[in-house]
Structure 1
Amino acid sequence: MSLPHPNSPEFAPALKAAREAMGLSYTELAKAVGINPAMPSRYENNDHSCACAPRDSTWQKLNALFSGRATDSLNSKITQAEDVSLAESTVEQIIQELKARGASSVTINY
């Protein structure tokens, strides 16, 4: 699934439908894409008082989440502490975190 551009009148209802289809709360959605917890509600309700349209980078993260590219890491991102010490993380955990934050691929050179 791909969300319409944030300036499109179809964006708000499409975002709401996608969020509800995944069973996500506003807070879970916000954590999954790294935005303020108040923003998903504002996006869905076309809150014009704050010029609430997601930036292109946030729109891309939302599309990645709803298209399934970020779904594998969604549960771990929501349940883990937000501050992860790299010293205590495995390479796999670091790669998973980078992908959850929108990296489409990760390459490690030794």
Structure 2
Amino acid sequence: MPVLPDFESAEFPPALKAMRKQLRLSRTALAQQVQLSTAAIQRYEAQDGSHIKPSREAYERLCAALSGLLAESPAEPVRAPAAPAPAPQAVAAPAPAAVPDVLLSEATLEQLIARAKMLGAKKVTVEF
């Protein structure tokens, strides 16, 4: 009855990741559903040295939450593509105008971040 392979199985990490992506959930959203940390979900999905196995209790919570979300999912895919599509266009359109031809040495931090996002960066880290 579980929707995932046994947590001891080598198929568990890729199956968890595939199911999370199928449901269009971020790691954070799934972690909130099952009352775990985002880092725990990341390490459950990892297929390298950082991989950890969930406890039996965590595994059961994951299966229960994913079962419930899968039962609700037929209605969600219809709504999901319609809502996100306008948002990126609205955010992306002002970025080119916000960063006119500015020399790198004269650009503000905000202009540099806007330019990086315009070029496709999903995350910008600034260290001093």
Taking structure 1 as the reference length, the TM-score comes to 0.56
- In the aligned structure 2, how far is the partner of 1:36 from the partner of 1:47? 19
Distance in 1 (CA, whole Å) between partners of 2:55 and 2:70 is: 18
Moved over 2 A (4+): 46-49, 69-72
Q: For residues 6-17 of structure 1, what are the structure 2 equivalents within 5 Å?
A: 6-17=7-18
Gaps of 5+ in 2: 73-128
Equivalent residue letter for 1:35: L
SS at match of 2:68: coil
Figure out how many residues of one structure are paired with residues of the other and give that number: 71
Q: For residue 55 of structure 1, what is the aligned residue in structure 2? A: 55
Q: Which has the larger radius of gyration?
A: 2
Q: Distance in 2 between matches of 1:30 and 1:10?
A: 20
1:33-52 to 2 correspondence within 5 Å?
33-49=34-50, 52=52
Give the structure-2-normalised TM-score.
0.49
Report the alpha carbon displacement of residue 48 of structure 1 after superposing the two structures with TM: 3.8
Gaps of 5+ in 1: 73-110
Contact 2:6 2:12 in 1 (8 A): yes
> Greater relative contact order: 1 or 2 (C-alpha under 8 angstroms, separation 6 or more)?
1
2:23–2:69 Cα contact (<8 Å) kept:
no
Shift of 1:12: 0.6
Q: CA RMSD in A?
A: 2.3
1:35–1:22 CA distance, 2 compared to 1 (3 A): same
